[in-house]
């Protein structure tokens, strides 16, 4: 095993596929308190009026397209995860949880519809599939568990500090500095987990739209649980979306900033993910990520695939992360490192 991981809380004796992914010393603590700067962007609808339902009521039937009681049809920020054509949205306008929840989305190219399920909008390729189930690698599946999702902000993430993560407040500050050139734009927090940073981005008022996106249904449910009693976020410009980072539901060049906190090592294919991030960013758009580093070892190159395949997470070295960003077409790479923690940023040319 790589020497650089010795201090990582993720390094556990192998028992079974799941046990070995659980951090060594999960302990319970309350979630962080957050400051409330004034909202620069706000929305009109209030979400409480629709809680309790389990799926969106709006379906896009052909005859309903021109006879909407709730609002008109419009081309949306979201795109079809199958063909990347912008989705047509029907329902109340506004970029906030209540409005998205009450809207239906349709791809007219694929003739496929998408709607909200349990608070989040499901924009995975398999949304709506009846018989087909797809399972990702354990490092992705682990976070779909209700228990892990529940524990994540209640002790699990605090463990990261032992590997050099400075903590959510400081990591947020660092990310905000990198995002200065895209203030006022659309920010996607990919692999948002329970929304630790999405909530901070939304509260900051620095972005016109914030998308909290994750593959885990239970992480998104936790995210909603954290925000449901906070009117300042419920009525803000934050929406929850289920999607795969390797198939992002946005048109090419439509996004100003992408954040991915503590996520790259969990992705099934970092190269597909970073290529996707590059695709959705507009020219000048900024990508900011954090992850655990693998400290360079003297392992010969031909042995690396074997070692990598026995590891639960995909830890990269600093050089590999820079190379990954560059080979996916991003420029102006920069990073800061503290023990195994790295925060890096790169830009779309």
Task: Write the DSSP assignment of 177-188 as a string of letters.
Answer: HHTGGGTTSEEE
Contact yes or no for 270/314 (Cβ under 8 A): yes
Q: Which two tokens stand for residue 90?
A: 């029907």
**What part of residues 201-220 is at the interface with ligand SAM (CB under 6 A)?**
214-216, 219
Alpha-carbon distance of 135 to 223, in angstroms, equals 22
Nearer to ligand SAM, 143 or 201 (CB): 143
Task: Between 21 and 60, name the residue whose CB sits nearer to ligand SAM.
Answer: 21
Closest CA to 137 of 8, 333, 312: 312
For the bound state, the minimum distance from the C-beta of residue 37 to ligand SAM, rounded and expressed in Å, comes to: 20
Give whichever of 64 and 125 is closer to ligand SAM, judged by the CB atom: 125
d(CA 158, CA 144): 19
Assess 157 for contact with ligand SAM (CB under 6 A). yes
The answer to whether 267 contacts ligand SAM (rule: CB under 6 A) is: yes
Q: Is 335 exposed, middle or buried (0-12, 13-18, 19+ CB in 10 A)?
A: middle
In angstroms, the Cα distances linking 65 to 25, 99, 103 are 53, 17, 12
Query: Interface with ligand SAM by CB under 6 A: which range of 3-11, 23-31, 84-92, 135-143?
Result: 135-143
* Closest distance to ligand SAM from the beta carbon of 124 (Å): 9
Binders of ligand SAM in range 9-48 (CB under 6 A):
none
Q: Is 266 in the site for ligand SAM (CB under 6 A)?
A: yes
Rounded least distance, CB 140 to ligand SAM, Å: 3
By the rule CB under 6 A, 268 interacts with ligand SAM: yes
154: number of Cβ within 10 Å? 16
**Contacts with ligand SAM, residue ranges (CB under 6 A):** 136, 140, 143, 157, 191-193, 196-197, 214-216, 219, 244-246, 261-263, 266-268
């Amino acid at each position: 095993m790589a020497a650089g991981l010795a201090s990582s809380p993720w390094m556990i004796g192998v028992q079974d596929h799941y046990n070995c992914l659980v951090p060594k010393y999960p302990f319970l603590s309350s979630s962080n308190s957050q400051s409330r700067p004034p909202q620069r962007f706000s929305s009109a609808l209030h979400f409480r009026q629709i809680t309790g339902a389990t799926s969106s009521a709006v379906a896009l039937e052909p005859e309903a397209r021109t006879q909407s009681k709730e609002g008109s049809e419009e081309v949306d920020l979201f795109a079809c995860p199958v063909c990347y054509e912008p989705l047509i949205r029907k329902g109340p306008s506004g970029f906030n949880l209540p409005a998205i929840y009450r809207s239906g989305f349709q791809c007219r190219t694929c003739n496929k519809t998408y709607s909200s399920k349990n608070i989040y909008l499901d924009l995975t390729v398999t949304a709506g599939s009846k018989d087909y189930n797809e399972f990702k690698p354990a490092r992705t599946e682990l976070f779909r568990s209700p228990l892990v999702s529940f524990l994540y902000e209640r002790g699990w993430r605090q463990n990261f500090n032992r590997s050099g993560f400075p903590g959510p407040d400081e990591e947020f500050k660092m990310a905000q500095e990198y995002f200065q050139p895209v203030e006022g734009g659309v920010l996607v927090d990919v692999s948002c987990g329970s929304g630790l940073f999405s909530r901070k981005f939304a509260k900051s008022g620095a972005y016109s739209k914030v998308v909290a996106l994750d593959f885990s249904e239970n992480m998104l449910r936790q995210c909603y649980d954290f925000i449901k009693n906070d009117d300042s976020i419920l009525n803000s410009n934050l929406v929850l979306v289920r999607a795969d980072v390797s198939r992002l539901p946005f048109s090419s060049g439509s996004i100003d900033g992408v954040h991915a906190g503590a996520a790259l090592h969990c992705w099934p294919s970092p190269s597909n993910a970073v290529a996707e991030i590059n695709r959705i960013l507009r020219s000048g758009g900024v990508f900011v990520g954090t992850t655990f580093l693998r400290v360079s070892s003297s392992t010969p190159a031909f042995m690396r695939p074997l070692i990598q395949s026995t590891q639960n997470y995909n830890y990269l070295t600093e050089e590999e992360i820079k190379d990954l960003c560059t080979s996916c077409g991003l420029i102006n790479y920069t990073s800061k490192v503290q023990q195994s923690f790295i925060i890096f940023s790169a830009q779309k040319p």
